């Protein structure tokens, strides 16, 4: 094995009583698996595969120490022996692959989504509908015991350790910070009193589990909320947590209620590792950094430059369970990179759906989607090399089918080639790179610049044809829509038509938002420049001010274009965007001065601009260019041709369903078909 490329990342980490095989930590993520039928066996397969893939230390999703701490009713809990026994299958699966696994103990406090929530004080959170009850003194003491008991039960279940969740705004944070803790007893008042709660939790936990058991403490190093902790306070807490018996300190970045993106795709890679670095030297135990680290070169750089001893990644291991193994074997171009879209992981969790991954639909579906060699290899023609065609072709070919992939354009990627042009969506380049490599590895025969037609069908024998021809933009159907200044979003993004200084964007779906971002952006994407990005979001690059943001004004980006985005539907624009990212897109466009109008009727376009009716009153949106982002229609004419020839035909992706279709559904549909064809 040659690990020259990433010597720091792949170096073992000696914790004294045990050694981690490398510096990767699979960060905690709620998947919802434990709440599904046969959930623990599914978790075993999910984590077992990641252990087989080489992860240094796995941390499970959050498990409550008692029922009050549930994130939602009947969520995972570890408070008695019967709970403990259920986990054994998970820890065994990981140990069978020489992996190590810690259970995260998470008490949601006022973030709990049920009416029995508790907190330091009875102050409601802005992101949940329930007001918490303030814990009494004995309630605080019994909660501390519940943490320690939960850790002990985790040890009984075979876990190598626990992670105590002390960040992202959950119960422990709610004790630490003044704006959620107005107690006057020994758990409130001065900072020294407010941090007694986490210190006691770690101390009691260590007492209960003994010496040879990993205790990770996830410490909020930059709260990104007003009235958050100061840096001196963070350092003091870290030192006390070390003294209380923690083995590793992990980095927490921002509370959930913070209105600053911390993990979305527009956040620069490793944008917060400098925060972790500030703590290095202050404590003597290993320290782990996190947030938006998704490729081995970034992880290696973070450790090599002394920012941290370990790197935590959660979503990248959903996207590719064999990330570490590929890094070890210098097969980085084979990594299915997490593009930080949140569409199938966090957005699912918020909708109470099982998490998965847009680029890897097998994630959390390992037991049902097993990619096995086909017993009857077929000769397949796939038409269209967009996300659906690519995912189908490479999966089917990996099972032994003979696949020919036909693409009319000069490159693969389909709509992803549009997405990658949007500032802040640079990660889409990685998915295209991944598929190019998979085409090579699986032996898919790719025909670019090739229109699939009768001639091909007559000259070659295909057992089945898969139509993945995607979509075309929907045209506007009002007077003046054929004027030269009315352009499609594809023409706008590809620079095929000139765009003026005053623009009306018709349609406020995902693409309308993307186009507005593209049109109002000037200069380099701030996603590629951490310092500029920190300025844009009002974050102190030295983390000296309280919470990392107090008194810092965001620097609004300059745009020389005036853009108005419209939709016919009444109500808030961007309502259908992802729960975890929609607010970021809305904030970004607001900061760039993009105006939005909803509830309009389009009348006509002429030399004066776009004529609309708003509240039944005529109005003219004066503009020199109109960009149409009015959704798409399916492109599947080919189906009638193949069917007329009696060839078994499947239609997938945008060609199957354009309305509301996105890459997540397209790839999922493609992989499922390829698994069973």
User: 124: how many CB neighbours lie within 10 A of its CB?
Assistant: 14
- Which residue has the CB atom at the shortest distance from ligand NAP? 509
* Binding partner at 661 among ligand NAP, ligand SF4, none, C-beta below 5 to 8 Å by kind: ligand NAP
Of the candidate spans 288-296, 308-316, 328-336, 654-662, the one that interacts with ligand NAP by CB under 6 A turns out to be 654-662
Using CB under 6 A as the binding rule, whether residue 577 contacts ligand SF4 is answered as: no
Tell me which of 511, 652, 670, 673 binds ligand NAP, using CB under 6 A.
Answer: 511
Count of helices and strands (H, E) across the chain? 22, 27
Using CB under 6 A as the binding rule, whether residue 563 contacts ligand NAP is answered as: no
Closest distance to ligand NAP from the beta carbon of 357 (Å) = 15
Tell me which of 91, 121, 173, 632 binds ligand NAP, using CB under 6 A.
Answer: 632
* Binding partner at 339 among ligand NAP, ligand SF4, none, C-beta below 5 to 8 Å by kind: ligand SF4
Q: Contact at 8 Å (CB) between 335 and 320?
A: yes
Using CB under 6 A as the binding rule, whether residue 318 contacts ligand SF4 is answered as: yes
40 is catalytic: no
* Binding partner at 334 among ligand NAP, ligand SF4, none, C-beta below 5 to 8 Å by kind: none
Of the candidate spans 228-236, 506-514, 525-533, 615-623, the one that interacts with ligand NAP by CB under 6 A turns out to be 506-514
The residue written with tokens 């929609």 in the block is 582
Mapped onto helix, strand or coil, the DSSP state of residue 559 is coil
Supply the DSSP symbol for 111: G
Of the candidate spans 234-242, 301-309, 336-344, 493-501, the one that interacts with ligand SF4 by CB under 6 A turns out to be 336-344
Nearer to ligand NAP, 164 or 391 (CB): 391
Q: Which residues contact 542 (CB under 8 A, 6 or more apart)?
A: none
Tell me which of 107, 315, 420, 586 binds ligand SF4, using CB under 6 A.
Answer: 315
Using CB under 6 A as the binding rule, whether residue 414 contacts ligand NAP is answered as: no
Which residues does residue 20 pair with via DSSP β-bridges, in sequence order? 13
Closest distance to ligand NAP from the beta carbon of 577 (Å) = 5
Using CB under 6 A as the binding rule, whether residue 10 contacts ligand SF4 is answered as: no
Using CB under 6 A as the binding rule, whether residue 568 contacts ligand NAP is answered as: yes
Question: What angle is formed at CA 590 by the lines to CA 588 and CA 595, rounded to 5 degrees?
Answer: 135
Token pair listed for 477 = 């159907």
Q: Contact at 8 Å (CB) between 286 and 242?
A: no
Using CB under 6 A as the binding rule, whether residue 335 contacts ligand SF4 is answered as: no
Q: Which residues contact 583 (CB under 8 A, 6 or more apart)?
A: 259
Q: Identify residues 457-476 at the interface with ligand NAP (CB under 6 A).
A: 474, 476
Q: Which residues contact 646 (CB under 8 A, 6 or more apart)?
A: none
- Calpha distance 554→261 (Å, rounded): 13
Of the candidate spans 301-309, 343-351, 469-477, 613-621, the one that interacts with ligand SF4 by CB under 6 A turns out to be 343-351
Outline where DSSP puts E strands in 211-247: 214-222
Tell me which of 43, 44, 94, 338 binds ligand SF4, using CB under 6 A.
Answer: 338
Using CB under 6 A as the binding rule, whether residue 345 contacts ligand SF4 is answered as: yes
Tell me which of 227, 411, 479, 660 binds ligand NAP, using CB under 6 A.
Answer: 660
Three-class secondary structure assignment of 617-674: EEEEECCCEEEECCCEEECCCHHHHHHHCCCEEEECHHHCCCCCCCHHHHHHHHHHHH
* Catalytic hit among 159, 170, 217, 602: 170
Q: Contact at 8 Å (CB) between 239 and 246?
A: no
- Calpha distance 585→516 (Å, rounded): 10
Using CB under 6 A as the binding rule, whether residue 581 contacts ligand SF4 is answered as: no
Which residues does residue 283 pair with via DSSP β-bridges, in sequence order? 280
Using CB under 6 A as the binding rule, whether residue 611 contacts ligand SF4 is answered as: no
Q: Contact at 8 Å (CB) between 415 and 390?
A: no
Q: Which residues contact 394 (CB under 8 A, 6 or more apart)?
A: 435, 438, 439, 442, 444
Nearer to ligand SF4, 263 or 327 (CB): 263
Q: Which residues of 426-457 are buried (b: 16+ CB within 10 A; e: fewer)?
A: bbbbbbbbbbbbbbeebebebbeeeebeeebb
Terminal-residue alpha carbon distance, the chain? 36
Of the candidate spans 15-23, 55-63, 234-242, 563-571, the one that interacts with ligand NAP by CB under 6 A turns out to be 563-571
Of the candidate spans 126-134, 248-256, 610-618, 660-668, the one that interacts with ligand NAP by CB under 6 A turns out to be 660-668
Size of site (CB under 6 A) for ligand SF4: 14
Q: Contact at 8 Å (CB) between 307 and 291?
A: no
Tell me which of 151, 344, 388, 610 binds ligand SF4, using CB under 6 A.
Answer: 344
Using CB under 6 A as the binding rule, whether residue 233 contacts ligand NAP is answered as: no
Using CB under 6 A as the binding rule, whether residue 359 contacts ligand SF4 is answered as: yes
Q: Can you give the C-alpha Rg of the chain in angstroms?
A: 26
Q: Contact at 8 Å (CB) between 251 and 288?
A: yes
Using CB under 6 A as the binding rule, whether residue 542 contacts ligand NAP is answered as: no
Nearer to ligand NAP, 316 or 510 (CB): 510
Tell me which of 164, 357, 397, 418 binds ligand SF4, using CB under 6 A.
Answer: 357
Using CB under 6 A as the binding rule, whether residue 386 contacts ligand NAP is answered as: no
- Calpha distance 303→545 (Å, rounded): 26
Using CB under 6 A as the binding rule, whether residue 662 contacts ligand NAP is answered as: yes
* Binding partner at 526 among ligand SF4, ligand NAP, none, C-beta below 5 to 8 Å by kind: none
Nearer to ligand SF4, 490 or 666 (CB): 666
Task: Tell me the per-residue interface mask from 311 to 340 with ligand NAP, x by CB under 6 A, - otherwise.
Answer: ------------------------------
The residue written with tokens 């409550």 in the block is 64
Q: What are phi and psi of 564, to 5 degrees?
A: -120, 130
Residue positions annotated with a catalytic role: 170
- Residues forming contacts to ligand NAP in the complex (CB under 6 A) are 474, 476, 506-514, 567-569, 577-578, 629-632, 660-662
- Residues forming contacts to ligand SF4 in the complex (CB under 6 A) are 315, 318-319, 338-345, 357-359
């Amino acid at each position: 094995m040659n690990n020259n490329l990433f010597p720091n990342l792949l170096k073992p980490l000696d914790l004294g009583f045990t050694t981690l095989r490398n510096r990767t930590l699979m960060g905690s993520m709620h998947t919802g698996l434990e709440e599904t039928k046969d959930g623990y066996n599914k978790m075993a397969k999910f984590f077992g595969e990641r252990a087989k893939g080489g992860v240094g230390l796995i941390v499970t999703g959050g498990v409550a120490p008692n029922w009050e701490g549930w994130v939602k009713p009947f969520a995972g809990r570890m408070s008695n022996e019967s709970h403990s026994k259920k986990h054994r299958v998970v820890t065994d699966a990981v140990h069978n692959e020489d992996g190590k696994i810690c259970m995260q103990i998470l008490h949601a406090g006022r973030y709990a989504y049920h009416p029995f929530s508790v907190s330091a004080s009875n102050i409601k959170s802005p992101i949940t509908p329930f007001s918490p009850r303030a814990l009494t003194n004995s309630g605080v003491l019994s909660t501390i015991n519940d943490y320690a008991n939960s850790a002990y039960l985790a040890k009984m279940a075979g876990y190598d350790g626990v992670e105590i969740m002390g960040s992202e705004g959950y119960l422990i944070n709610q004790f630490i910070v003044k704006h959620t803790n107005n107690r006057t007893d020994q758990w409130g008042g001065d900072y020294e009193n407010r941090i007694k709660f986490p210190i006691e939790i770690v101390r009691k936990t260590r007492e209960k589990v003994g010496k040879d058991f990993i205790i990770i403490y996830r410490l909020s190093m930059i709260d990104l909320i007003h009235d958050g902790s100061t840096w001196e306070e963070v350092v003091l807490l870290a030192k006390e947590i070390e003294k209380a018996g923690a083995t590793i300190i992990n980095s927490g970045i921002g509370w959930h209620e913070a209105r600053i993106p911390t993990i979305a795709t527009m956040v620069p890679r490793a944008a917060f590792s400098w925060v972790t670095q500030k703590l290095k030297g202050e404590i003597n135990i290993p320290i782990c950094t996190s947030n938006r680290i998704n490729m081995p070169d970034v992880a290696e750089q973070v450790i090599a430059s002394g920012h941290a001893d370990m790197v935590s990644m959660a979503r990248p291991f959903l996207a590719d369970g064999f990330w570490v193994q590929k890094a070890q074997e210098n097969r980085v171009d084979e990594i299915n990179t997490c593009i930080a879209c949140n569409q199938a992981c966090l957005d699912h969790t918020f909708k109470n759906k099982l998490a998965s991954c847009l680029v890897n639909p097998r994630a959390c579906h390992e037991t049902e989607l097993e990619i096995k060699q086909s017993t009857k290899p077929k000769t397949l023609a796939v038409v269209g090399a967009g996300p659906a065609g690519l995912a189908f072709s490479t999966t089917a070919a990996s099972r032994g089918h003979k696949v020919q992939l036909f693409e009319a354009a000069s490159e693969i990627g389909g709509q992803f080639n549009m997405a990658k042009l949007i500032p802040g969506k640079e990660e889409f380049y990685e998915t295209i790179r991944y598929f190019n490599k998979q085409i090579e590895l699986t032996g898919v025969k790719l025909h670019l610049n090739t229109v699939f037609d009768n001639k091909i069908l007559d000259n070659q024998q295909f057992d089945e044809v898969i139509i993945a021809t995607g979509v075309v933009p929907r045209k506007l159907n009002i007077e003046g829509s054929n004027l030269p200044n009315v352009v499609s979003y594809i023409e706008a993004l590809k620079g095929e038509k000139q765009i003026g200084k005053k623009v009306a964007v018709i349609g406020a779906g995902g693409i309308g938002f993307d186009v507005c971002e593209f049109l109002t952006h000037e200069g380099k994407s701030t996603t590629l420049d951490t310092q500029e990005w920190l300025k844009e979001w009002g974050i102190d690059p030295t983390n000296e001010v309280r919470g990392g943001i107090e008194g810092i004004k965001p620097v609004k980006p300059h745009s020389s274009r005036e853009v108005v985005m419209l939709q016919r539907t009444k109500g808030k624009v961007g309502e259908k965007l992802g729960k975890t990212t929609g607010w970021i897109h809305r904030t970004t466009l607001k900061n760039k001065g993009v105006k939005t109008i909803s509830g309009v009727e389009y009348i006509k376009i002429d030399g004066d601009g776009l004529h609309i009716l708003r509240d039944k009153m005529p109005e003219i949106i004066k503009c020199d260019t109109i960009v149409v982002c009015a959704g798409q229609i399916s492109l599947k004419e080919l189906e009638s041709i193949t069917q007329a020839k009696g060839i078994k035909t499947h239609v997938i992706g945008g060609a199957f369903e354009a309305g509301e279709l996105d890459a997540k559904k397209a790839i999922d549909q493609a992989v499922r078909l390829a698994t069973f064809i």
